[in-house]
Amino acid sequence: MPSNEQRRQAAKRKLERQLERREAQAKRRRMITAGTTIAVVIVIVVGVFYFTRSGEDTPAAAPPPPAQPEIQIPTELAPPPSRPTPLPDPVSCEYRPEGEPAKPVQPPEGGEVSSTGTVGVTMRTSQGEIPVTLDRALAPCAVNSFVSLAEQNYFDQTSCHRISTEGLQMLQCGDPTGQGTGGPGYAFDDETFPELQYGRGYLAMANSGANTNGSQFFMVYGEAPLPPDYTVFGTISEEGLQVIDEVARQGHDGSFDSSAGGGKPNVDVTFEDVVVNA
């Protein structure tokens, strides 16, 4: 039988083995815990790096377009245009063939035309009504042509193709092509005078040189430092000017900046109907 000493030694060795196993188990637990912590840290770091890089690699949103510079529009109407010397009554008007018409239309009847009286016209547009008053005493041939075109619905569904907001402040319309090159297939002479000065509220014929008037016209809503080479044939009401002012404040696309100046209005202005008032 084992002695007491042998039994004590055996118990001691057993205890030592138990302590070694416990220490080994504790060491494994510490290693597992440390490994788990490291893995979590790696996942967090990788996630932060990924989202940071993703934010860097994703194209930034395009900056908003620059705001249109605020334009200064005079509020005071220019003095009503008038001839220093009245025209004879009647006058003789001639409408000569000139190119192909941008839209089927007949030229107005020429010959003797009255140079007295006014004609009210309402331009109904996609942006509101623009009432104007045509004055035969200023330009009887231009008034006769405009009335004829309006009564033939020539201007209907035609967009104003150009607006200028700096220097010359005007809205140009009357070309069915919308390009600034179209006309009615005829031309007539200028009806200007040297004393003519343009200003807010004037309605005038556009042209491509002397005596080339057709269907295109422009409405002056502000400054207009022009030579007296454009036939003024009427005036625009304050109500109509307010419509044009709002269009002007929205700016243009600059498509005419390299030539005549200005561009297509950013807000479309299309004539729905041009009515000659009875």
Number of folded domains in the chain? Answer: 2
Range of the domain at 201: 91-276
199: CATH: 2.40.100.10
Tally: H helices and E strands in the chain: 3, 13
Q: Rounded to whole angstroms, how far apart are CA atoms 172 and 163? A: 6
Query: Confidence class of residue 62 from pLDDT cuts 50, 70 and 90?
Result: very low
pLDDT of residue 68: 54
H or E segment and range at residue 13: helix 4-57
Q: What is the pLDDT of residues 115-132, one digit of tens each?
A: 999 999 999 999 999 999
pLDDT beyond 90 at 88? yes
Q: For a pLDDT cut of 90, what percent of the chain falls above it?
A: 72
> How far, in whole angstroms, is CA 57 from its chain's centroid?
34
52 & 97 share domain: no
pLDDT, average across residues 19-33: 55
45 & 143 share domain: no
Query: Confidence class of residue 158 from pLDDT cuts 50, 70 and 90?
Result: very high
pLDDT, average across residues 41-48: 40
Q: Which residues pair with 120 in a beta bridge?
A: 133
Task: Let me know how long the chain is.
Answer: 278
Lowest mean pLDDT among 6-10, 40-44, 83-87, 273-277: 40-44
225 & 116 share domain: yes
pTM listed for this prediction: 0.76
* Residue 156: exposure state from Cβ atoms within 10 A (0-12, 13-18, ≥19): middle
141 & 241 share domain: yes
pLDDT, average across residues 197-201: 97
Q: Which range in 7-16, 64-73, 98-107 is most confidently predicted, on average pLDDT?
A: 98-107
Q: What is the pLDDT of residues 237-272, one digit of tens each?
A: 999 999 999 999 999 999 988 888 899 999 999 999
Residues 6+ apart with CB under 8 A from 245: 73, 221
> How far, in whole angstroms, is CA 47 from its chain's centroid?
45
Q: What is the dihedral of CA 145, 151, 156, 161, to 10 degrees?
A: 10
